[in-house]
Structure 1
């Protein structure tokens, strides 16, 4: 018999073994790692199994997962029977069960392990997606049911763990709306048990620690969302705060109602790791609204394949402003009958183009432009080593933003400050009367 007081929010989780995957996400101090460790120990005592505990870096086990498991073994009064070995790190049980520890920074070590029926990936968001898939292949046993437990603090929605277990906009996959998990706290879908926790769920946590987390709201909202609320989201400063998505029919109807619309097309070139991105834009100059209503977004295509895919532009002679860093490509398209010209590029043009796009009061994107939405909806600035924003660099390479840059070549959005200065009435300076 083993008795241990636990947090009520984790009671069901401790004995939940019906699903293959168990995904735990939560804020700082929520006790999720503690209860995963306890859950594994209880299972090792009940059945003869081999569990694999994984972190991205092997050496971090000593002061985290191994230390936690060893502490629990002692606290449960099992240290006379359960052996915690440090070289190599391993925990052995009297019934033949064992827990072994590996790091993804030593992938060769994974190849020598067999009959793993439980894998715990601690801080799974730090492990690469390729590593996760490698571990799936290592999870195998001839008779026992297989389980993988993943625990993490929430990170950005661009992390593989969010895309795999919740939503992948790029590939149009919705597994679970994370907002539903925050509301229900636990649920099961697609052979995955989901568990959400915050500091309130840890009844052993001092109130001073929770108060410290609450203070984050005032000076670090990103960390507050992660540490206090335990929720995924967008990390960093968003570039296009005015970006909005509307149904395609609504966007086209709005364009029809523009007084003297400015119609543009811009193209960024790519091949292997980057993309050919071609966008059709409409500008409402009077209202300072940019509409994005059509996109072409492909990679791995030769120029002749791309030309065939967008041949409607050659037939209509619609002007395309493209990346002038590719003069040979532009020349090739012109020889095929495309009305294509290079957009101006100069030192500092990335920053100036970005500022131009940010001056629009609204940027409205058609719901059909899914790749544009994926790149721009939550686009954030890159930061330097001191955490300062780099105004012309981003956390991803947004090909659709480059296409917008080029499409807006030679067009200027009126800067509101400049406009106010131009509209200010001329006032004559009072002159002194000569005596």
Structure 2
């Protein structure tokens, strides 16, 4: 019989093994790692199992997971320090070099790092895996570990725990939603509201510092102070929520259903339509977008996209044949005159957009001047690139106004499409007219 006081929000979690996968996300100090470690110890005391604990870097186990397990074992009075070869009955013996915990019933916890993948190949009969700080582990590593989870008789379990980071991380895309692939598993807002939920054989658990009754009030006050000077870290550390880290380039960007977008465009008396194209091949992409502009309300609609790489020009031209038929003007990247000439010779109405020193910044400012940017839900790659797009920062933590957290090919295509269009400033047409006429 083991008596241990735990945080009430984790009581059900400790003994719930109904699902194969368990995903815990939460803020700083919520005690999620502590309760995962305790849960694994209790499980291995009751059943003979081999558990694998994984972090991205092996050496970080020493001061995190291995230290945590040892602390819990000591606190439970289960530490075997007899020095005998065989672990004393009902006890657990931690061992370093390599890190390991041995149980008297034959259970074992081993620790590995994804920075030494060769060490994973030799393990077998793993029925339980814990990925601590799973967001730091690569998606390919996660999928490889799924293949290591196998046992002839025991039920298999994988536990993942993390502090939330950006929505561009694989953990968010896999367990919640991937807009590029139009895939939704669970709306993260629903988890924040319900706190625990089971979806598709996965147990979700959300926690914050408020769930840890053993935290001093001074620690929570310290987290609350983040709201004043670091809102991104406040969202992560205090609220335990995923989001976009950094300053958004296009905060007015929003996604709507395709039919709704097309209906709005069709209601415009004189919609201004534009097409832009960015070129790419190996790592970058050929990106084409169709835009419609509501000049009165200063709204930019994005309603069609083409987005592919590793395509030769002849194949791309074939796939874009509808533009050859429609004779729509395509404004393209003038840094690729040879490609533009190829498309011209093949019957496309295409010309290069103006590029000049500082054009990236000026084009970005032009896009930002739209009051709203409304994108069709069908333009999944545009959404993937532009919705979470943030500015890069320099060493002084200052934003770089023409550099971003990723290379947004669809934004480049929009730049070129708007080459000959000027967006009115926010003072409105009347004020602009007065300034032009020098009216006071």
- TM-score under structure 2 length normalisation: 0.93
In 2, Cα distance between equivalents of 1:101 and 1:53: 5
Cα displacement (A) at 1:131: 0.8
Which residue of structure 2 aligns with residue 136 of structure 1? Answer: 146
Q: Does 1:227 align with 2:240?
A: no
2:393 to 383, 399, 422: 383
In 2, Cα distance between equivalents of 1:88 and 1:146: 24
Which residue of structure 1 aligns with residue 203 of structure 2? Answer: 193
Cα displacement (A) at 1:168: 0.9
Which residue of structure 2 aligns with residue 57 of structure 1? Answer: 57
Which residue of structure 1 aligns with residue 26 of structure 2? Answer: 26
1:403 to 409, 413, 418: 413
In 2, Cα distance between equivalents of 1:426 and 1:72: 76
Cα displacement (A) at 1:397: 1.5
Cα displacement (A) at 1:250: 3.3
Cα displacement (A) at 1:422: 6.0
Cα displacement (A) at 1:423: 2.0
- Mark the runs of 5 or more structure 1 residues left unpaired by the alignment: 429-435
Which residue of structure 1 aligns with residue 320 of structure 2? Answer: 310
Q: Does 1:159 align with 2:187?
A: no
Q: 1:272 to 1:426 in 2, by over 3 A?
A: closer
Cα displacement (A) at 1:411: 1.7
> Does 123-132 or 133-142 show the bigger shift?
133-142
SS at 2:406 equivalent: coil
C-alpha contact (below 8 Å) 1:268/1:278 kept by paired residues:
yes
SS at 1:215 equivalent: helix
- Mark the runs of 5 or more structure 2 residues left unpaired by the alignment: 81-90
For residues 290-305 of structure 1, the aligned pairs below 5 Å read 290-305=300-315
C-alpha contact (below 8 Å) 2:253/2:375 kept by paired residues:
yes
| Alignment coverage as a number of residue pairs | 428
Cα displacement (A) at 1:418: 10
SS at 1:293 equivalent: strand
C-alpha contact (below 8 Å) 1:259/1:284 kept by paired residues:
no
Which residue of structure 2 aligns with residue 13 of structure 1? Answer: 13
Q: Does 1:68 align with 2:68?
A: yes
Question: What's the CA shift string for 1:94-121, capped at 9, x where partnerless?
Answer: 1111111111111111111111111110
Q: Does 1:265 align with 2:280?
A: no
Q: Does 1:423 align with 2:438?
A: no
SS at 2:180 equivalent: coil
Which residue of structure 2 aligns with residue 431 of structure 1? Answer: none
Question: What's the CA shift string for 1:150-187, capped at 9, x where partnerless?
Answer: 00011111100011111111111111111111111111
Cα displacement (A) at 1:416: 3.8
SS at 1:382 equivalent: strand
Cα displacement (A) at 1:122: 0.3
Cα displacement (A) at 1:293: 1.8
RMSD: 1.7
Which residue of structure 2 aligns with residue 277 of structure 1? Answer: 287
Q: 1:253 to 1:175 in 2, by over 3 A?
A: closer
C-alpha contact (below 8 Å) 1:262/1:283 kept by paired residues:
yes
C-alpha contact (below 8 Å) 2:168/2:388 kept by paired residues:
no
In 1, Cα distance between equivalents of 2:195 and 2:98: 37
In 2, Cα distance between equivalents of 1:10 and 1:257: 53
SS at 1:54 equivalent: strand
In 2, Cα distance between equivalents of 1:17 and 1:361: 50
Cα displacement (A) at 1:68: 0.4
C-alpha contact (below 8 Å) 2:305/2:382 kept by paired residues:
yes
Cα displacement (A) at 1:380: 1.3
C-alpha contact (below 8 Å) 2:50/2:125 kept by paired residues:
yes
Q: Does 1:366 align with 2:376?
A: yes
Cα displacement (A) at 1:421: 6.6
Which residue of structure 1 aligns with residue 258 of structure 2? Answer: 248
C-alpha contact (below 8 Å) 2:290/2:303 kept by paired residues:
yes
Cα displacement (A) at 1:371: 2.1
